[in-house]
Amino acid sequence: MDSAMKAAIEAIHSSPTHAVLHLAGGASQALGWLLSVPRASQTLLEATVPYTRASMIQLLGRAPQQYASREVADEMATAAYNRALTLSLPGTLVAGFGVTGALTTGSPKRGDHRCHISARTHSSLWRYDLTLYKGYRDRFGEDCLSSQLLIKAMADVCEIGNAVPVELKSPEEEIRESRLNYAEDEELEQLIHGNVCMVRYPGEDSKDRRTGRRVVLSGAFNPLHEGHLTLMSTACTLVQGGSPCFELSAINADKPALPVHEIKQRVKQFVERGKTMIVTNQPFFYKKAEILPDSTFLVGVDTAMRLVNEKYYGGSRERMMEVLLNVQRLGCDFMVAGRIVDGVFKTMLDVNVPEEVKEMFSSLPENVFRVDLSSTEIRQKASM
């Protein structure tokens, strides 16, 4: 690694962007370079090499017709971006990088030797395509060139401005670059259609937070009221290092998806107050836990009752325990607030929690939190 490459990587590590890398068929040396320069943990959240057919199918959720292609690089970058979202707090800038290529092997290739790199952030998709001069380099040399191109892509995404050496040796070799930019509406449409797992709106309460445990309050927030805000602020005093995150699902289990304009209207309530909002496409807690691991979910006692009721698992206690224990394995638990149910104020003492998962449920005592407000009542009063 020469001094210019080292300087570029040092600048990448000093930037606020955290990244997940999915590498297949090229750029393997870039990972070693990144890790060999101090402060790599400031950049890398995770790196994987989905090299086998089965591994790539599992990553993409499908079997592509051609593995070394522009389309696959885009999908790998999006998968890496989604992974970066799950591994970081809302105040963290994240990017996902996908690399796929067809480089020289032990036997001659009929087609071009090529490399495709994509980089995905919340608002953009960067693309880099390179056809290598066939027969000029051995495998190590071609991998080195694709590694240089990956570091260049990372430098571009991190906006560091450093010149990254990419050693092209022939006029026939040319890097083709392009960039797609996404408006907020497009990003929300991608969420609704399942392409991205969440859209984050970091608030003042998430600034400079890169570590800690999410404290998540899920709801429809139609409208947001003081009970929501008080519940969150109270819970965060009880969860050490807790990072407050309000969560809205664009997808409802038994209703049509929320339209984009409605999502934006509900999000606006939080943005105006400087509060952190996450919009997901998961209506069920066991799915929320998969994309928000290591979280404490704030729920009302009525929701806690449903979580431990076999009725909502097809009448199967085995299925209920399977779901709850999987949520626990993902590092998640529930903090339960009392509320009025059928005219009576109820607390965790009224919830019959199975012994196997009792440690997953903690209580917000009535003397710590009690706000008898509901969005439904507020809407009803507003319509009178």
Cα distances from 13 to residues 73, 85, 113, 318, in angstroms, run 23, 18, 30, 46
Report which residue type is found at 261.
H
Triad 69, 94, 25: Cα angle to 5°: 25
DSSP string computed for 8-34: HHHHHHHSSEEEEEEEESS-HHHHHHH
* CATH fold for the domain made of 185-382: Rossmann fold (3.40.50)
Architecture of the domain delimited by 3-181: Alpha-Beta Complex (3.90)
With CA atoms as reference, report the closest residue to 84 among 153, 20, 131: 20
DSSP state of 252: -
Q: What are phi and psi of 29, to 5 degrees?
A: -65, -25
With CA atoms as reference, report the closest residue to 8 among 158, 205, 137: 158
For CATH 3.40.50.620, list the domain ranges present in the chain: 185-382
Q: Is the dihedral of CA 269, 275, 278, 284 positive or negative?
A: negative
For CATH 3.90.950.20, list the domain ranges present in the chain: 3-181
d(CA 205, CA 215): 12
pTM of the model: 0.93
pLDDT tens, the chain, 384 aa long: 788 999 999 999 999 999 999 999 899 999 999 999 999 999 999 999 998 999 999 999 999 988 889 999 999 999 999 999 999 999 899 999 999 998 887 676 677 888 999 999 999 999 999 998 888 888 899 999 999 999 999 999 999 987 888 988 877 888 999 999 999 999 999 999 999 999 999 998 776 555 678 999 999 999 998 989 999 999 988 888 889 999 999 998 888 899 999 999 999 999 999 999 999 999 999 999 999 999 999 999 999 999 999 999 999 999 999 999 999 999 999 999 988 888 888 989 899 999 999 999 999 887 776 776 665 665 556 555
Residue 107: CB atoms within 10 Å: 5
The terminus-to-terminus CA distance of the chain in angstroms comes to 71
Cα distances from 117 to residues 125, 175, 179, in angstroms, run 10, 11, 12
d(CA 108, CA 88): 43
